[in-house]
Structure 1
Amino acid sequence: MTHLWWARRDLRLDDNPALLEAQSDGPAAAVFAWTEAVHLWSGRRRAHLARSLWSLRDDTGGALAVARGRAAEVVLAAAQEADARVVWAAKEFSPAGVAEQQAVSEALEGDGRELRLHGSPYAVAPGRVLKSDGTPYRVYTPFLDAWRGHGWRAPAERADPDAFVSLGSLDDVDLDQRAAHGDSEDPIDPHHEFREERLRAALEDFIDGDVAGYAQDRDRPDLDATSHLSSALAFGQVHPRTVLAMLAPLRSDGSRVFQAELAWREFHADTLWHEPQARRESLTPVLAEDDWETGRDADDAFVAWRDGRTGFPLVDAGMRQLAQTGWMHNRVRMVVASFLIKDLRLPWQRGADHFRRALVDYDHAQNQLNWQWVAGTGRDAAPFFRIFNPQSQLERFDPDRRYVQRWIPELDTPEYPEPLVDHREERETTLRLHKRAKARR
């Protein structure tokens, strides 16, 4: 009996439990639904998806079908063509992912077929790490300890690249054309990798090399000291369980800090699973609604922030790096977010929406909850009174100004704008408004 694998955020052959289950009775069919939601992505992110699917199709001997339409329609049509009574997929936990798999399940059941969910994009699925009283953790550090104590399975074996059957008649997405269209909107970084085997090789190089200094160097945007793994995790080309297994033999401070950074991704997914309203709503209020800036001046300030024209070099360099590459160093992400929320007093949702449109490595739970962390509105958030000083952050983490000079060629010339605001004054105003809002609650 042929089974069908519904590819989602798991575009790989390595360590893919749902795909292995689909192949358990012999060759499996495989399909990816190119939905309308994809068209809302940045051109750069769509181009990366198209290339990743192209690579996976190549690895499956051309068998992976990529079809346009709602997931429920695409998966049902694929199951009918393959005569598959069972469809296997990784379980999603985000609100949109849950709704999508429910729609697919209902469509299959109406045709006498079944959706079976196995595995997830996480080492430990959301909802599994709980306190002794059965409630979720609200603070990251005890979650991290419990997450480590819970542990995770060893990576699954590699799926058989030759054990696929074709769904040629359903394959109606020209991936080369999609990549070209995406490139025409947002040229992709030529160093951005999308092939599974090359991503695995780059990960191995990082584990064998730079991870040793990760604890000291990860906050330095002027150094190439991070894993650049975020896109591979977002698209499921590498599973975090694979990364954790590679880290396990190491005993360096860097390897342990890197493991803890992976745990942040799982903590945010767990938070969104328990509190789905966090995708748009602040979990903790920090300012009165009428204290956020609105109107023409607020919109002009947002555009200056978006375009990297605030007059604060670290903020501007980060936003220009994002615009040109679809990626930004994590330390700089925190600085630009703090500036938008606490210097310009614009709601975190505006920044989160811009990142959703611009990031290649966009991950819904990570994006929304990281913004809430900076805003001081999340479950375990930085205190609202922690306001990053863009200048002191520059001096501390880009001491030779190599990062800002790379992204701002007109720096230190009359063409570079004066600071958009006075950071000290805006900090004092924001803290005063926060204190007043707390007193009113």
Structure 2
Amino acid sequence: MAENAPAILWFRRDLRLGDHAALLTAAKSASRVLALYVLDDALLKPSGAPRTAFLSGCLRALDEQLSGRLLVVHGDPVRAVPEVAEAIGAGSVHVHADTAPYGRRRDQEVAAELGRRGVDWVETGSSYAITPGRVTKPDGEPYRVFTPFFRAWLRHGWPSPADTSASTVDWIDPDGLSGVDIPDAPDLGSMTLPEPGERAALAAWDHFRDEALPDYDNRRDRPDLDASSRLSPYLRWGCVHPRTLLAELGDEDEAFRAELAWREFHADVLWHRPETARRNYNTKFDAMKLETGPAARSAFEAWCQGRTGYPVVDAGMRQLLAEGWMHNRVRMIVASFLVKDLHLPWWWGARHFMRHLVDGDLASNQLNWQWVAGSGTDAAPYFRIFNPTTQGEKFDPQGDYVRRYVPELAGLSGKTVHQPWKAGPPDGYPAPVVEHAHERRVALERYGELSP
């Protein structure tokens, strides 16, 4: 690396300036730093409109924090990043490690090409409190069950938040460099997304910490209440680092700490088993009998549109279409309904979620779907077949959540909204597409046919 050469900070899933370990490392290696973002079609094309729109907003917010000094380029990073490095005579490129399958392959290729040009590749930390792959059993093997992983994760610990901001380095003005405009957000129609960017993320955290965190463990499963952190989109894009949140949690906040750990556990599983993004973690489930014909496609469309005749399922699917987000308890309910009542492939549902979720994250999405389907890390899939009616009655006891998203049922009071067929389904609302008790028996029979 040439002495006094400038550096590049390549932003990816870390669209913030506070608590930014890679920024801190860049500041130690160079007095002048170029902020770079690469629009990579390999990532953009599979992204749904909500995620693309939120990304656009986050890039604009970051550019504003940088006083217009974010260079955005479009193309293959293996070519684009070295070209930018050559254009400014950079001696190093700094990043947070990308631990997803595509990102790992891409970064190896980028690092190799930079090395051929005499430019250092510097990874510092990741999007997680503890970078996937670092928490292992005493024998070096990865954890396959959450609870022992969680204990080991807590014992391992993590660094304090990095003290960084827009003033940490002297940012290079990208004028004269070949870049593109930040793309406009796609038209989302009536869908409403959260405000993007780091400032919005920290404001959401402050609100949750002060208002909902004290009673989080008692209220987190209630979709009818404003009890969720709603931080998942910000964590997905790195508008806030989990280390920032963990630093402010007390001993009494174990439930929320565990939720953050689930995100880290799934990233760790994907690190060790990258094929599980597309295939069953437990390969014996490859033999599971699934419905895939025209009737299955029709049932899938009813599920996607929120027209299954099961109110809490329909409310969740309509919330997804309206907000690009769904309450976590309801995500489990609708996923269970797809794979255990409709007997459809989990990856159909996972793909639909990734298309519509603003917080769509490969590790969390795919492995949570596998957890529900029973093909993942969980050891007891047979007994977790959610009854959508009793789940609705338990976690939406007055029916407020259902009525919010299923207006056809607005005339039904209290928990009667969860069994509209008893009063005669209102006009425009479908009868149940299946009978749960029967489909539960079918699911158990199919699980029972799998080899031990």
2:396 is equivalent to residue 391 of structure 1? no
Q: Secondary structure at the match of 1:277?
A: helix
Aligned to 1:229: 231
2:243 is aligned, of 241, 245, 249, to 241
Q: Secondary structure at the match of 1:12?
A: coil
Check conservation: 1:376, 1:384, Cα contact below 8 A. yes
Check conservation: 1:78, 1:167, Cα contact below 8 A. no
Q: Secondary structure at the match of 1:294?
A: coil
Residues 59 and 381 of structure 1: CA distance in aligned 2, closer, same or farther (over 3 Å): farther
Normalised by the length of structure 1, the TM-score is: 0.94
1:174 is aligned, of 168, 181, 185, to 181
1:35 is aligned, of 31, 35, 40, to 40
Measure the CA separation in 2 of the matches of 1:188 and 1:67.
Answer: 28
Measure the CA separation in 2 of the matches of 1:45 and 1:231.
Answer: 9
Measure the CA separation in 2 of the matches of 1:187 and 1:110.
Answer: 49
Measure the CA separation in 1 of the matches of 2:279 and 2:346.
Answer: 10
Aligned to 2:441: 428
Flag as ranges the 4+ runs of structure 1 deviating above 6 A. none
Measure the CA separation in 2 of the matches of 1:22 and 1:58.
Answer: 20
Residues 309 and 188 of structure 1: CA distance in aligned 2, closer, same or farther (over 3 Å): closer
2:127 is equivalent to residue 121 of structure 1? yes
Aligned to 1:284: 282
Identity %: 46
Check conservation: 1:372, 1:381, Cα contact below 8 A. no
Give me the CA root mean square deviation.
1.6
- Cα deviation for residue 8 of structure 1 reads 0.7
Check conservation: 1:44, 1:187, Cα contact below 8 A. no
2:8 is equivalent to residue 4 of structure 1? yes
Measure the CA separation in 1 of the matches of 2:402 and 2:53.
Answer: 27
Q: Secondary structure at the match of 2:128?
A: coil
CA deviation string 1:123-148 (max 9, x = no partner): 01111111111111111111111111
Check conservation: 1:31, 1:64, Cα contact below 8 A. yes
Matches within 5 A, 1:146-185: 146-161=152-167, 163-170=170-177, 172-175=179-182, 177-179=183-185, 182=186, 184-185=187-188
Residues 433 and 404 of structure 1: CA distance in aligned 2, closer, same or farther (over 3 Å): same
Q: Secondary structure at the match of 1:167?
A: coil
2:27 is equivalent to residue 23 of structure 1? yes
Matches within 5 A, 1:21-420: 21-24=25-28, 25-36=30-41, 37-161=43-167, 163-170=170-177, 172-175=179-182, 177-179=183-185, 182=186, 184-189=187-192, 192-247=194-249, 250-252=250-252, 255-285=253-283, 289=287, 291-380=289-378, 382-411=380-409, 413-420=426-433
Check conservation: 2:65, 2:166, Cα contact below 8 A. no
Q: Secondary structure at the match of 2:73?
A: strand
- Cα deviation for residue 62 of structure 1 reads 0.9
Residue identity in the other structure for 1:404: V
Measure the CA separation in 2 of the matches of 1:367 and 1:79.
Answer: 34
Check conservation: 1:286, 1:376, Cα contact below 8 A. no
Residue identity in the other structure for 1:251: D
Q: Secondary structure at the match of 1:6?
A: strand
Aligned length: 430
- Cα deviation for residue 193 of structure 1 reads 1.7
Q: Provide structure 1 residue ranges, at least 5 long, that are not aligned to the other structure.
A: none
Q: Identify which range, 21-30 or 392-401, moves more after superposition.
A: 21-30
Q: Secondary structure at the match of 1:33?
A: strand
Residue identity in the other structure for 1:7: F
Measure the CA separation in 2 of the matches of 1:352 and 1:264.
Answer: 17
CA deviation string 1:166-207 (max 9, x = no partner): 2234464333x522xx1x1455415x1213123212212211
Q: Secondary structure at the match of 2:132?
A: coil
- Cα deviation for residue 107 of structure 1 reads 2.0
Residues 220 and 349 of structure 1: CA distance in aligned 2, closer, same or farther (over 3 Å): same
Check conservation: 1:230, 1:361, Cα contact below 8 A. yes
Measure the CA separation in 2 of the matches of 1:60 and 1:258.
Answer: 32
Measure the CA separation in 2 of the matches of 1:102 and 1:178.
Answer: 30
Q: Secondary structure at the match of 1:222?
A: coil
CA deviation string 1:238-274 (max 9, x = no partner): 0000000011xx232xx11000100000000111111
Measure the CA separation in 2 of the matches of 1:251 and 1:117.
Answer: 32
Check conservation: 1:66, 1:170, Cα contact below 8 A. no
Aligned to 2:416: none
CA deviation string 1:357-409 (max 9, x = no partner): 11000111101110011011112355233100000000000011000101011
